[in-house]
Amino acid sequence: MRALAVETSGRVGSIALSEDGRILAEEQFAHGLMHAAQIVAIIDRLCRQQGWGAKDVHELYVSAGPGSFTGLRIGITLAKTMALATGVKLVAVPTVRVLAENAPAEARNVIIVLDAKRDQIFTARFERVGDEWAEREGAHLDSLSAMIERSPRPVWLLGEGIPYHRKFIADDPSVIVTEEDRWRARAAAVAKIGREMAQQGQFADPFTLTPIYIRPPEAEEKYKAQHG
């Protein structure tokens, strides 16, 4: 089973190729418009290095959000286009679940922190049960202080929104901010979770697949406010 994993939800994107669950290659690229400029070329080059053609990719796992509105649109559009062009099967992987893979081995409770502006975060809470992560609160809009208050302790925080919400993190040794290199979602984790979802038959319809935005983009909210 050959698969492509696409991660474009954060400030740094990445692409990974896997075969039967084994990562063959992973490469990252810069955020912003460079997503669109580089992503297809990177995929083409990585596939050629493995000797794969367009129709040799059986499944495509895409990080579906929440996260960067622009990045998610690029990733989802790419996934839908490839599915319609080649017939590759799609799996929409929740970005919060991808991020939970970055938690240290000793972490039992994890809160995902992604900046949503206005002192709010896109977030979710997970608990490690055995070797698996159980979702205790699904992806939603909240405040970091409220999430911390509700969580069992000790709790680990991770995600690119942490620098914008440090003022809400109390001086409490049971609230642990993870190292910065754990804050970014990675395509290798998208591949791992995507394969698990595919084995459970959790495929997405390319005609109806949309990013997990949680709330509309700010520009859309402003337009609706002005035009009713």
Distance CA 130, CA 226 (A): 50
Q: pLDDT tens, 125-147?
A: 999 999 999 999 999 999 999 99
Is the domain of 83 the same as that of 166? no
Is the domain of 213 the same as that of 129? no
Question: Which pLDDT score is estimated for 223?
Answer: 63
Is the domain of 153 the same as that of 221? no
Distance CA 139, CA 122 (A): 7
Beta bridge partners of 90: 60, 204
Question: Which pLDDT score is estimated for 221?
Answer: 67
Cα–Cα separations (whole angstroms), residue 166 to 4, 134, 150, 182: 35, 26, 17, 16
Is the domain of 200 the same as that of 169? no
Task: Yes or no: say if 136 and 127 are a contact pair by the CB < 8 Å rule.
Answer: yes
Other CB atoms within a 10 A radius of the CB of residue 223 amount to: 12
The predicted model gives 96-101 an average pLDDT of 98
State the residue for tokens 């954060």.
Answer: 10
pLDDT cut 70: percent of the chain above it: 94
Is the domain of 78 the same as that of 29? yes
Beta bridge partners of 19: 2, 22
Question: Which pLDDT score is estimated for 218?
Answer: 67
Question: Which pLDDT score is estimated for 54?
Answer: 84
Task: Yes or no: say if 66 and 212 are a contact pair by the CB < 8 Å rule.
Answer: yes
The predicted model gives 21-25 an average pLDDT of 98
Question: Which pLDDT score is estimated for 158?
Answer: 98
Mean per-residue pLDDT of the chain: 94
Half-sphere exposure of 146 (CA within 13 A, CB side): 11
CATH of the domain at 113: 3.30.420.40
> How remote is the C-alpha of 171 from its chain's centroid?
29
Residue 48 lies in domain: 2-95+184-227
Count structural domains, the chain.
2
Q: Is residue 30 classed as helix, strand or coil in its secondary structure? A: strand
pLDDT cut 90: percent of the chain above it: 87
pLDDT above 60 (res 33): no
Residue 163 sits at the vertex; the CA angle it makes with 134 and 6, to the nearest 5 degrees, is 55
Nearest CA to 160 out of 114, 104, 99 is that of 114
pLDDT above 60 (res 217): yes
The one-character DSSP state at 130 is T
Is the domain of 38 the same as that of 54? yes
- Go through the chain and tell me how many residues it has: 228
pLDDT above 90 (res 38): no
Q: pLDDT tens, 4-17?
A: 999 999 989 999 99
Is the domain of 188 the same as that of 87? yes
The predicted model gives 73-89 an average pLDDT of 96
> How remote is the C-alpha of 177 from its chain's centroid?
19
Is the domain of 141 the same as that of 41? no
Is the domain of 115 the same as that of 194? no
pLDDT above 90 (res 200): yes
Task: Yes or no: say if 167 and 144 are a contact pair by the CB < 8 Å rule.
Answer: no
> How remote is the C-alpha of 41 from its chain's centroid?
21
Is the domain of 44 the same as that of 78? yes
pLDDT greater at residue 34 or residue 49: 49
Question: Which pLDDT score is estimated for 170?
Answer: 87
pLDDT above 80 (res 176): yes
Half-sphere exposure of 139 (CA within 13 A, CB side): 21
Is the domain of 12 the same as that of 78? yes
Could you give the residue ranges of the DSSP H alpha helices within 33-162? 34-50, 69-86, 95-100, 144-150
Question: Which run of H or E residues covers position 192?
Answer: helix 187-199
Given 182, 200, 216, which residue is the final one in a domain? 182
Is the domain of 109 the same as that of 171? yes
